[in-house]
Amino acid sequence: MKAVIPAAGLGTRFLPITKSSPKEMLPIIDRPAIQYVVEEAINSGIEDIVIVTGRGKEAIERYFDMAYELERVLEERGEMEKLQEVRRISEMASIFFVRQKMPLGLGHAIYVAKNHMGEESFAVLLGDDIIVADKPCIKQLREIHKKYGCSVVAVQEVEKEDVRKYGIVEGEEVEKGVYRIERMIEKPSPEETASRNAIMGRYILTPAIFKCIERTEPGKKGEIQLTDALNLLLEKEDIYAYEFRGRRYDLGNKFDWLRINVEMAMQHDDFREKMRKFLQKILQD
Ligand code: UTP
């Protein structure tokens, strides 16, 4: 299976840093957010990855490219551990880049990768969403896709007052945590739906989605929304929602970026104790 990682958005919720630095390159300890996303795909058995970029996102391409001068300097200095790490990044997977010339929405970003995807179902991982899980989220979705043979979207329950921030799915629970979707509503008010199952940034899509994106009219902010295209797909094919296990961080959101850095520090052998002491001290003061 191949994967698309859309990373061409403007990141306006994270201004001003995103004026010149892609949000997908924000560091979590010592590596950029998008590396965690690429590693999730690889750890789910996906090795052919298309990253959708745009203007001002060149740092992403450079990051996954070979850094010849740097490698030579590290080699000369005998810093072999660092050299290995730097090499590992450029050799991780087959990564291809396509450009979305204008940020016309998530649906449009996925469409830009159409020619690379062929006639097979493919995975979509949003470049600014990190999911910390024992079993990688996209692997969980692949298992559901294999069982039901159709598109699957990752969902998680959110607070009632938060449904207005997400695409919400309504459907029938066919097994624990798996729903056959009946309706998807983009950013509803809490009165519009009884469901609290929100779509998070992971999908397995059948290739029929491309025809649906072609038929999707620009929606909010003039963008081609993936949820609108999914609703067209739902007229033709079943779509399932899966309540994945894991914690999701939206790096388009400043507070989530702070939270994930603390979580990752607590999982890191070098920082766990230091961070614990630091937090205790700050909370006491
Ligand atoms: P978001 O809606 O979170 O990204 O899209 P954004 O538009 O950058 O965010 P704000 O609201 O301005 O802060 C989810 C994912 O889809 C990508 C983004 O890069 C992000 O990874 N995306 C979004 C595209 O690739 N192209 C687009 O036109 C829009």
CATH of the domain at 52: 3.90.550.10
The tokens of 255 are what?
Answer: 């507070």
Please tell me whether residues 105 and 174 are part of one structural domain. Answer: yes
How many angstroms separate the CA atoms of 17 and 198, rounded?
28
Please tell me whether residues 266 and 146 are part of one structural domain. Answer: no
Scan for tokens 């097979």, then name that residue.
Answer: 120
Please tell me whether residues 139 and 235 are part of one structural domain. Answer: yes
Please tell me whether residues 248 and 259 are part of one structural domain. Answer: no
What pLDDT is recorded for position 35?
A: 94
Q: How far is the CA of 162 from the centre of ligand 1 (A)?
A: 19
Please tell me whether residues 33 and 115 are part of one structural domain. Answer: yes
pLDDT digit string, tens, across residues 9-23: 999 999 999 999 999
Residue ranges for the chain with pLDDT beneath 50: none
Please give the number of the atom of ligand 1 that sits closest to the Cα of 52. Answer: 25
What pLDDT is recorded for position 285?
A: 79
User: How many other CB atoms are found less than 10 A from the CB of residue 41?
Assistant: 25
What pLDDT is recorded for position 119?
A: 93
Please tell me whether residues 96 and 223 are part of one structural domain. Answer: yes
> 62-89 b/e with 16+ CB inside 10 Å = b?
ebbeeeeeeeeebeeeeeeeebeebeeb
Please tell me whether residues 159 and 106 are part of one structural domain. Answer: yes
Structurally, the chain folds into a number of domains equal to 2
What pLDDT is recorded for position 92?
A: 87
Do the Cβ atoms of 150 and 237 come closer than 8 Å?
Answer: yes
Please tell me whether residues 118 and 257 are part of one structural domain. Answer: no
pLDDT digit string, tens, across residues 87-125: 999 888 899 999 999 999 999 999 999 999 989 999 999
Please tell me whether residues 277 and 232 are part of one structural domain. Answer: no
Q: State which of 18, 49, 106 you would mutate to test the pocket of ligand 1, scoring each by most atoms of that ligand within 8 A of its C-beta.
A: 106
Please tell me whether residues 230 and 268 are part of one structural domain. Answer: no
What pLDDT is recorded for position 206?
A: 98
Please tell me whether residues 93 and 6 are part of one structural domain. Answer: yes
Rounded to two decimals, what is the model's pTM?
0.94
Please tell me whether residues 37 and 145 are part of one structural domain. Answer: yes
Q: Which residues does ligand 1 sit against, CB inside 6 Å? A: 6-13, 52, 100, 103-106, 108-109, 126-128, 252
Q: In which domain, by residue range, is 235 found?
A: 2-252
